[in-house]
Amino acid sequence: MTELKNILKVYTNSYYFWFMKILSLKLDDDVFESTERLTAELGCKRNRYINDALRWYNAHNERKMIKEALSRESRLTRAESIQVLKEFEQLEKGASDAAV
């Protein structure tokens, strides 16, 4: 391992951890109990389970926010888009009338 990696590691009880944020978390009793049950059944650590859940929830909310922004932008440009379509229809109608 490179010297830089060795410098960046923090050693605790013979385990090393990359710099991570420590978070104090208060959970409702029912959420804690179901989390404990599920992590035991899945055979994964509580920390990994919560990290994965938050990663999924963050991605879900980011997609939701993008969808809402696109919808908002679409509503803002709707009237202008309709006007442009009408102008194209007039141009096509004029072109077809001239061809006849």
Is 44 inside any structural domain? yes
Is 10 inside any structural domain? no
Q: Are 36 and 21 within 8 A, CB to CB? A: no
> What integer best gives the mean pLDDT of the chain?
84
Is 79 inside any structural domain? yes
Is 64 inside any structural domain? yes
State the total domains in the chain.
1
Q: What is the pLDDT of residues 2-43, one digit of tens each?
A: 665 555 555 554 555 566 788 899 999 999 999 999 999 999
Kindly state the percentage of the chain with pLDDT values over 70: 78
What lies within 8 Å, CB to CB, of 16 at 6+ separation is 9, 10
Q: Are 56 and 62 within 8 A, CB to CB? A: no
Region of poorest pLDDT, from 3-17, 57-71, 75-89: 3-17
Looking at residue 5, its pLDDT comes to 59
Backbone phi, then psi, for 73, in 5-degree steps? -65, -40
Looking at residue 15, its pLDDT comes to 55
Is 18 inside any structural domain? no
Is 17 inside any structural domain? no
Is 9 inside any structural domain? no
Is 20 inside any structural domain? no
- At residue 58 the predicted structure's pLDDT band, cuts being 50, 70 and 90, is very high
What lies within 8 Å, CB to CB, of 46 at 6+ separation is 35, 36, 39
Looking at residue 27, its pLDDT comes to 95
Name beta bridge partners: 15: 12
Domain range for 71 is 25-99
